[in-house]
Amino acid sequence: MPNLRRWLECRFRQWLPNAEPPHKVHRQTWNFHSQTLDQTVRVDLYLPAVFFSVDAADLPVLYINDGQDMEAVQLQKTLEQLYSTEQLPPIIVAAF
């Protein structure tokens, strides 16, 4: 059922009273074990709001190495500001 809700929200977001602003950035975090490094690796994805309403394959991806400092440099806030002023088109950021 959660997938149906996401699908409906994506398709009808513009008519929802609480529709989020188009410059909103969502952060998703995954941890997985790297056999090569023999340690847990954290990957943070910063997804633009349009990610949920367009074909994500059409969005460019920026890969950031040493991504553990993205909170300290306020990447999410910076992306939202750049999107809201249209200084940057929507991109996916993968920080690891």
pLDDT digits (tens, 9 = 90+) for 31-51: 999 999 999 999 999 999 988
Q: Residue 11 CA to chain centroid, in angstroms?
A: 18
Report the distance separating Cα 62 and Cα 20, nearest Å.
23
Is it the case that residue 21 has pLDDT exceeding 50? yes
- Quick one: pLDDT at residue 3? 57
Q: How confident is the model at residue 14 (pLDDT cuts 50, 70, 90)?
A: low
Angstrom distances, CA of residue 60 to CA of 19, 52, 96: 24, 15, 17
Looking at residues 76-94, what average pLDDT do you find?
96
- Quick one: pLDDT at residue 17? 46
Is it the case that residue 1 has pLDDT exceeding 50? no
The two structure tokens encoding residue 25: 């950035």
Is it the case that residue 54 has pLDDT exceeding 80? no
Indicate whether this model's pTM tops 0.85: no
